[in-house]
Amino acid sequence: MPCDRPSVGLSVAVGGSGLEPDAGATGLADVRTGRPLRPGTLLHACSMSKLVAAVAVLRLAELGTVDLHADVERHLNAPLARSDDDPARPVTLAHLLSHQAGFVDPDAAGEPVAPGPAPDVAALVRTGLGTTTGLGTTTGLGTSTGPGTTGPAPVTVPPGEGFAYSDVGYWVVEHVVARATGRPYADVVDDLVLAPLGLTGPAAGPGASTAWAYVDAGAGGRAERVVDDLAAVGHTTSGGVVAGDRAVYRGLAAAGLWATPTALALLLTDLVDSWHGSSDGVLTPTSARTLWSAPGPTSYAALGAFLLRHGTETVVQTHGWGAGFQAVARAHLDRRSVVVAMMCSDPGTDQDGSAVGAVADACTEHG
């Protein structure tokens, strides 16, 4: 029977080497007002933010600011908590970016929190998810350090020995980037990754194609880069709007980026070209190859993304799923083509069973 419920939005961009992305959108950005979703409407990238974080770290490694394989504690103002059986083994950025640093996140590490001031990522790393360490208020999480207190999420497995998806690891990445550069994380990513592609700054022109969930902690954060009411709102599985319109998460590196599919398609295409040897991209060919290779024993875990196989072809995938939003992006390395699909709705199932996954699968199967 016909459904009279308004259709929430789906936005898609496809592209490839030498081609401008072809973008389209359908449905609504806000079911309450009937505002349509446009190809240029910002959506929450959720955990696809992690790929952008990895690219930023590779850029910093090219500049000699950080070392991908050195102990990250050189950049921290307090040691990481350790409960693994090899505490002398260093945690590196390569471990963190590939979810192989040994963190096992508290259940609520990836859950949305109440809007408020930017989180103190240093405090999150140092003391965990207590009531004064992040956005809004939370219940006590992490390792118990006494009645009514919390500690940091510890490294529980020796670094490099196993995969465990970790938002906490990306809090550490964000903290390292800020400490190593002396600048807010979002400003570093804007200047080294997004601005060179025309995705922010004067070259971007009117209408933002990227934004951040909040102003980064520390002096110098760019308030004008915070997502505004022109972005899509998140919708629940029943078609309503999520609390607060747009969920907020701890950590920009883990889940703080908002973007259009076209913006992410441009980034992916640039990385694919560099992977194939172009010297004109954000990353050098060597760094692009490092980005999309597995640094540890988990063969599918690259830096900020995952390596899939389709026949004989390697396909790079990044995906995100948060309150009111879901997304997936793929780069087909042999074909040099990319697809990004984003929706402003929680479909109630993972990407394998949702509309964004169906779009990505169709592009993978049929080119």
Q: What does the alpha-carbon distance between residue 61 and residue 217 come to, in Å, rounded to a whole number?
A: 23
Q: Which residues pair with 310 in a beta bridge?
A: 313
Q: Phi/psi class of residue 73: alpha, beta or left (left: φ > 0; alpha: ψ in -120 to 50)?
A: alpha
Distances from the Cα of 329 to the Cα of 21, 212, 265, 319, angstroms:
13, 19, 8, 6
Q: What does the alpha-carbon distance between residue 194 and residue 315 come to, in Å, rounded to a whole number?
A: 23
Pick the catalytic residue: 7, 11, 17, 47? 47
| 110 alpha-carbon distance from chain centroid | 12
Q: What does the alpha-carbon distance between residue 241 and residue 229 come to, in Å, rounded to a whole number?
A: 14
Instruction: Yes or no: say if 138 and 275 are a contact pair by the CB < 8 Å rule.
Output: no
Instruction: Yes or no: say if 221 and 215 are a contact pair by the CB < 8 Å rule.
Output: yes
Residue whose token pair is 């903290």: 175
Return the amino acid letter for 36.
Answer: P
Residue 11 annotated in active site: no
Q: Which residues pair with 53 in a beta bridge?
A: none
CA contacts within 13 A on the Cβ side of 320: 36
Angle at 137 between CA 135 and CA 140, to 5 degrees: 115
Q: Which residues have C-beta within 8 Å of that of residue 138, sequence separation ≥ 6?
A: 108, 113, 129, 130, 131
Residue 319: other Cβ atoms inside 10 A:
23
Q: What does the alpha-carbon distance between residue 163 and residue 74 come to, in Å, rounded to a whole number?
A: 24
Q: What residues act catalytically?
A: 47
